[in-house]
Amino acid sequence: MGTKKLKVGIIGCGGIFNGAHIYAYQDNKNVEIVAFCDIVLSKAVSTAKKLGFDESICYENYEDVLNIEGLDAVDICTPNYLHSIIAVAALNKGINVFCEKPDAVSVSEAQKMQDAAEKSGKVLMVMRNNRYNNYSKFLKKYINDGKMGEIYTARCAWRRRRGIPGKGGWFTTKAQSGGGPLIDLGVHMIDLCIWLMGNPKPVAVSAATYTKFANSETEADSEHAQFGEAKADGTFDVEDLAMGFIRFDNGCTMQIEFSWASNIEREHNFIELRGTKAGASNDTADKSFKIFTEENGITVDYIPNLPDSNGPHKQNLFHFFDVLLNGKEPDFVPVQGVNMVKILEAAYKSAELGEEVKI
């Protein structure tokens, strides 16, 4: 470890900062928060106080944070449409960026982020916390060791029965979120599969989206519905279910399904990969992580006994700190973000047109 402390400004002090990012700062002695910013100043102040700071380092306007001398990085935890705007402004000032998912709300915005990162030579990393689950890390190594053979197809989903986040607020307002569960949850599981498959390039998407629960009064049954502030009589112009199919340049395919609300038994998320030597699946419905293979003419199931994942969001931030402080090779590069948003944008386009869209 180097001796210099990393100076970081936090932009957006809402649910995900207080629910997850905060632990990365509490537990890392090599990083120092020098600013807390929220457009609602009281949220910046209450967050600062939790970490033992006072209002003297709290800001309402993110541009003031970007002007702080010696600032090394910002951690962007704002609504989706602001990710690219703040990230590009920071990179243009030579400030490294860690940003929450989804990368951006359109391909052109994601491309601006990649361009700004390349031009500045600074690090742009977007949250990919699911790569840091214990089962994900185990599988990545298993696949890299060649034990699954050629992976040619995958399925993934995050389905909720009733779990619309911040109904009526920014989450359900397309101009601020970019979309519903596809952009919100899809990024997590699609990225995880693509990363495990070795980052093939997406070439076409077919999808359908539905909005059926905008007027439902039924109580949420998902802890994740607590994200974002709900707004009575607010906007709901995004989907609540997306179904789709993605094709990749190497012939791989992926089936996807994401819902914030649908009439299914209960919330769960899963990934399933199929390779020529083995398949694998992880399903939160029954906390099962299994590998399916064969030995001596007999099919065999393996069940790795892994401990619970230890703060995947925190681990992702620790990796970002490690890249900046110790020159570690980043395990996320901006082109992965652009490719991700290409999939999402093509899926929305396909749903609108009712046909497959080429990327």
Ligand X SMILES: NC(=O)c1ccc[n+]([C@@H]2O[C@H](COP(=O)([O-])OP(=O)(O)OC[C@H]3O[C@@H](n4cnc5c(N)ncnc54)[C@H](O)[C@@H]3O)[C@@H](O)[C@H]2O)c1
**Site of interaction with ligand X (CB under 6 A):** 11-16, 37-40, 43, 62, 77-80, 82, 100-101, 127, 129, 184, 227-229
Shortest Cβ 271–ligand X spacing (Å): 16
Which one, 184 or 240, has the nearer CB to ligand X? 184
244 near 256, Cβ under 8 Å?
Answer: yes
**Residues near 298 by beta carbon (within 8 Å), at least 6 away in sequence:** none
CA–CA distance, 152 with 247 (Å, rounded to integer): 10
CA–CA distance, 102 with 347 (Å, rounded to integer): 15
Residues in the chain: 359
Which one, 11 or 291, has the nearer CB to ligand X? 11
Residue among 342, 328, 299, 302 nearest 111 (CA) = 342
Which one, 14 or 202, has the nearer CB to ligand X? 14
Which one, 206 or 269, has the nearer CB to ligand X? 269
- DSSP bridge partners of 302: 291
Shortest Cβ 220–ligand X spacing (Å): 14
Which one, 176 or 206, has the nearer CB to ligand X? 176
Shortest Cβ 196–ligand X spacing (Å): 18
Shortest Cβ 37–ligand X spacing (Å): 5
CA–CA distance, 331 with 294 (Å, rounded to integer): 32
Which one, 274 or 314, has the nearer CB to ligand X? 314
Tokens of 131: 């790569």
Q: Which residue has the tokens 């962007």?
A: 76
CB-based closest residue to ligand X: 14
Which one, 184 or 239, has the nearer CB to ligand X? 184
Q: How far apart are the first and last CA of the chain?
A: 42
3-state SS assignment for residue 280: strand
Shortest Cβ 319–ligand X spacing (Å): 14
How far out from the chain centre does Cα 233 lie? 28
Q: Which residue has the tokens 């790569």?
A: 131
Shortest Cβ 47–ligand X spacing (Å): 9
The dihedrals phi and psi of 316, each to the nearest 5 degrees, come to -65, -40
Shortest Cβ 221–ligand X spacing (Å): 18
How many beta carbons lie within 10 A of that of residue 198, not counting itself? 13
Which one, 72 or 184, has the nearer CB to ligand X? 184
Which one, 103 or 257, has the nearer CB to ligand X? 103
3-state SS assignment for residue 202: strand
CA–CA distance, 38 with 30 (Å, rounded to integer): 24
Shortest Cβ 62–ligand X spacing (Å): 5
Q: 87: exposed, middle or buried (C-beta count within 10 Å: 0-12, 13-18, 19+)?
A: buried
Shortest Cβ 20–ligand X spacing (Å): 6
Residue 323: left (phi > 0), alpha (psi -120 to 50), or beta?
A: alpha
